[in-house]
Amino acid sequence: MIGTAAKRVDTPEKATGRARFISDVIVPGMVHAKLWRSPVPHARIIAIDTSRARKAPGVIAVLTAKDLPVKDLYYGPAFKDQPLLADGVIRHAGEPVVAIVAETIALADAALPLVAVEWQELPVVDSLDAALAPGAPVLHERARPAVHFRDLTSLKPIAGTNICHQYSYARGDLDRGFAEADLVVEQTFTFPMVHHYSLEPHCAIARVDPTGITVWASTQHPFPVRKEVAEMFGLPLARVQVIVPYLGGAYGNKSYTKIEPLTIALASHVRRPVRLALTVEEGFKTVRRAAVRYRLKTGVRRDGTLVARDCEIYYQLGAYADVGPRVVQKSAYTAAGPYRIPNVRIQAYGVYTNTVVSVAFRGYGVPQLTWAYESQMDVIAERLGLDPLELRLKNVLARGEVFIEGDRPVDCDYAGGLRKAAAAIGWTEPTPPRRGRGLACTIKAPLAPSVSSAMVRLHADGSATLLTATVEIGQGARTTLSQIVAQELALPLDRVRIARPEIGMSPYDQATSASRSTTLMGLAVLRAARDVRDQLLAIGARQLGGDATAMTLHDGAIVAPAGRCRYAEALAAHFGTGGELIGRGTYRGERGHAPLGGEAPFWEVGMAAAEVEVDEDTGRVKLLRYVSIADVGKAINPRECEAQEEGAAMMGIGHTFFEQMVYEGGQLLNPSLIDYRVPVMGDLPDEYRSVLVENGDGPGPYGAKGIGESGLIPTAPAVANAIARAVGVRITDLPMTPERVWRAIQASSPRFA
C-alpha cells in the first residue's frame, strides 16, 4: 500500500460531479451578501448614506462597520489591525466598506450603486519607496498584537513608520568576512506582487442560533478560524463549529481568517443564514503574495569559498498585516540560502502600503529570496570563471551540518540532488547558440512548533474511519492519510473512509499548510492506527492464545501461530453485540532552542535545472526542458508526489515569465484573468521530469517528509541562470517578460554601449 500509486479516494466523487464544494452548499432560509468596495486607495470616511439601498427590492439589511454585532471589529493572525468593514479610514482600493444582505445575489448586487459614501482622499503610499520615504503617511499609528501564535509574541514594529515588523539575525564578523573576500558582489533583486488564483474564490456561509455559530468555509485553517471567531463574538470554542467542504484550490490564500467573521456578523444581524461569495475580481482585491526587494551582498574567495553574506530585505505587505510578519521572519530565516557561510547578517522588514493585503502563498516568502541568492550564485561563478554546479557543490551544506545554531541539522543530500539535476538536464553537453542551462537549489523551514491529532475508529465489521481536520485542497491528503491507516491495519484502501473536517467534531489540527500534512498529521494518523493495531493484537492474544508480540495483522485478520480471526469476529467476541475500537494519535512539535521558537521538524528542499532557448530579436524565452528534484524521504504515493512537483513548477513558471499585479496611483490595473496571465498548458516545457529522491530520512511515516512547495521555489532562478548562459544577460526583476529580456539584450549589445 505504501509506495504505490493508489487511486485517489476522492476521484469517484469529483469525476462524477457528486463532490460538494462550498458553492454546492445550500442552507435552508439562506440569503446573500454583497460588498460595496472603495474605489479609492486611501481616504477618511466622512459620511455613508445607505437609505436608498435599504429601500431597494429584496434588500434585508445594509450595514456599515458601526452596525456589526461583534465584540471586536478587528482581526488578524499577527496584529488585530484589519476591520471587518472599513472603520473610519479606507486603506486600499477594493476594501469593503458597506455590506448589503438581500434575498438573492442579483438583488444585493443591484442595490450596491445606491450606496453613497463621502470621503476625503489621503496621500497614497502604494510602493516600498513611497512607504519608506521620510515624512510618508503612517497607515497604522499603533498596532495591537493578536497573540495567537508563540512565534509572533515578539513582533517589532518601528513606531512612527510603516514598518510593522522587523527581523534580524547575525553570526560571525561581517566586516572581517568581507575584508577576507577576493570578490564582493552586490545586487538588488525584485519580485512582484502575485495573485494566487485558485479556481474557487473565497466563500462562506454562516448560521447563528441560540446554540452558537456554524460556518461553512473555504479555509485551510479551520481551527485558527474558530479561535478567532470565538474571540470576536465572545463565545466559548465549544459553541463555534466550522465545516469545510472540498476546496477548489488554495495556495495560502485561504489561510487564517478572511471573510468568515463578516459573514457571521451579517447572519447574526439578519437572523438568517447568510452566504458571502467573492468574485474572481474581488479575490484579486482581497489577497496576494508579498512583493519583495532584496539587496544581497556576498563576499567570496578566489577558489569559490563563500565567506560573508549581507541580506537586506523589504516585503511589501499591503494595507494590513495578516500573516505577513510571520512570512517576513520565517522566510528571512533562510535568506542566506543552504550554504556554509561563516559571516552572515540578515535584516528584514515588513512594510504597510495602500495595496491589497499580502498573505501566505505557496513557498511562504522563500521563492522571493531564492530568486535573489540563486541568481547571484551564478553571477559569482561567472566572475570567478567557475562552473555554477561546482560552486554550489563546494559551498552547499552536507547532511548533518548545522544550518542555524539551535535548529535541526540539514537532513538531506544536497550534493547528490544537484548532481542528479545536472545529469538529467545534460549539464556537460554542448549547447547550440542562444541555448543555455541553469541550476538552482533552496531550503525552506516548515511551520514549527505545531500540533496535530487524529482518531481512527475500527468498526464492528472490520472497516475503519479516519477522523482528521486536514483539509483536502487538491493535494491528495485524504488519499495519503488513508493509505497510512490501510497499511497499519492491513486493510484494502476501499475499507478505509476518511471523514470530512467538522471543527467542533474533528480532532485538532493546527494548519493545512507548510507542506506538513503527510509528514506531521501523518505521524498523528500513524500513531492512531497503531493504537488500534495494538488493541487488536491484545484482543487476539486473549482469543487465540499466545503472546501479542507473536501476532500480526494480515488482510483484515489477526494472525497467530495457533490460527487466525477476522476483525469482525474478534470484535464481536470481545464486545458481544456491538462495539468498536478507537485509536488516538498526536504529533506535537519540539520547541527546542531554535531562534524562531521551534525546531524545524524537517527541511523542505528543492533543486531544479532548466534549459531554455532565447530569441534575441523578440526576447521570447522558450523553456525546452525542466527537471525538478523532490527530496521526499519516502513517497507514500509516488504519483501524487510527482503531481505536486509538476503543479508547483507550473506555478513557478507563472511568476517567472508573466505573472504580476500592476499598480498605478494605488489602483490595481489588472484584477481579472483578462489582464492577469496565469500559466496554461502551452506554457509547459517540451520535456518535464520530476525525480523523487527517497532516502528514508524524513521524520514522518516510513521516513517521509513534505514536498508541497519545493517544486515552486527554484524555478525562476534556474530559468534566469539558463537565460544568462544562453545570451549573456542577467535579469534581476521578475517577471522575465519578452520585453524585459529584449531590453536587457539590447542594453548589452555593443551598438548600445
pLDDT greater at residue 340 or residue 561: 340
- Give residue-wise pLDDT tens across range 342-391: 999 999 999 999 999 999 999 999 999 999 999 999 999 999 999 999 99
Confidence bin at 178 (pLDDT 50/70/90): very high
The dihedral through the CA atoms of 427, 428, 431, 434 has a sign that is positive
CATH number of 291-447+595-752: 3.30.365.10
Q: Do 648 and 709 form a contact (C-beta atoms < 8 A)? A: yes
Q: In angstroms, rounded to a whole number, what is the distance separating the alpha carbons of residues 44 and 46? A: 6
What average pLDDT does the segment 61-79 reach? Answer: 96
Length reported for the chain: 753
Q: Where are the domains of the chain?
A: 11-122+202-277, 291-447+595-752, 451-588
Spatial CB neighbours of 524, under 8 Å, sequence gap ≥ 6? 452, 453, 454, 468, 507, 585, 586, 587
What are the phi and psi torsion angles at 373 (to 5°)? -70, -30
Neighbours of 552 (CB within 10 A): 14
In the predicted structure, residue 84 carries a pLDDT above the cut 70 = yes
Using alpha carbons, list the distances in angstroms from residue 601 to 150, 166, 282, 471, 708.
16, 25, 37, 20, 15
- Give residue-wise pLDDT tens across range 98-116: 999 999 999 999 999 999 9
DSSP string, 270-285: HTS-EEEE--HHHHHT
In the predicted structure, residue 590 carries a pLDDT above the cut 80 = no
Question: What spatial distance separates the first Cα and last Cα of the chain, rounded to whole Å?
Answer: 63
Q: In angstroms, rounded to a whole number, what is the distance separating the alpha carbons of residues 31 and 275? A: 6
Rounded to 10 degrees, the C-alpha dihedral 100/102/104/110 comes to -50
Q: Do 139 and 354 form a contact (C-beta atoms < 8 A)? A: yes
What average pLDDT does the segment 635-640 reach? Answer: 92
pLDDT at position 546, please?
82
Give the mean pLDDT of the chain.
94
Q: Do 604 and 706 form a contact (C-beta atoms < 8 A)? A: yes
The dihedral through the CA atoms of 133, 147, 84, 290 has a sign that is positive
Using alpha carbons, list the distances in angstroms from residue 693 to 221, 444, 715.
30, 17, 18
Domain 11-122+202-277 has CATH 3.40.50.150: no
- Give residue-wise pLDDT tens across range 276-306: 999 999 999 999 999 999 999 999 999 999 9
In the predicted structure, residue 753 carries a pLDDT above the cut 60 = no
Architecture of domain 451-588: 2-Layer Sandwich (3.30)
pLDDT at position 751, please?
53
- Give residue-wise pLDDT tens across range 476-525: 899 999 999 999 999 999 999 998 888 778 898 888 888 888 999 999 99
pTM score above 0.75:
yes
What angle, 0 to 180 degrees and rounded to 10, lies between the N-to-C axes of helices 522-544 and 567-575? 70
The CA-based angle 448-450-451, given to 5 degrees, is 165
Q: Where are the alpha helices (DSSP H) in 74-127?
A: 105-111
Q: Which residue, among 151, 527, 547, 563, has the nearest Cα to 333 in the 3D structure?
A: 151
Q: Where are the alpha helices (DSSP H) in 545-668?
A: 567-575, 638-657
What angle, 0 to 180 degrees and rounded to 10, lies between the N-to-C axes of helices 715-727 and 366-384? 30
- Give residue-wise pLDDT tens across range 692-751: 999 999 999 999 999 889 999 999 999 999 999 999 999 999 999 999 999 999 998 765
pLDDT greater at residue 395 or residue 577: 395
**H or E segment at 231?**
helix 222-233
pLDDT at position 21, please?
92
The residue written with cell numbers 447572519 in the block is: 267
Which residues in 233-256 are b (16+ Cβ under 10 Å) and which e? bebeeeebbbbbbbbbbbbbbbbb
pLDDT at position 143, please?
81
Instruction: Decide if 11-122+202-277 and 291-447+595-752 have a common fold.
Output: no
Q: In angstroms, rounded to a whole number, what is the distance separating the alpha carbons of residues 256 and 230? A: 14
pLDDT at position 445, please?
85
- Give residue-wise pLDDT tens across range 424-446: 999 999 999 999 999 999 999 88
- Give residue-wise pLDDT tens across range 674-694: 999 999 999 999 999 999 999
In the predicted structure, residue 94 carries a pLDDT above the cut 90 = yes
Q: In angstroms, rounded to a whole number, what is the distance separating the alpha carbons of residues 35 and 41? A: 16
Q: Which residue, among 91, 90, 157, 159, has the nearest Cα to 353 in the 3D structure?
A: 91
Spatial CB neighbours of 175, under 8 Å, sequence gap ≥ 6? none
pLDDT at position 187, please?
98
pLDDT at position 752, please?
47
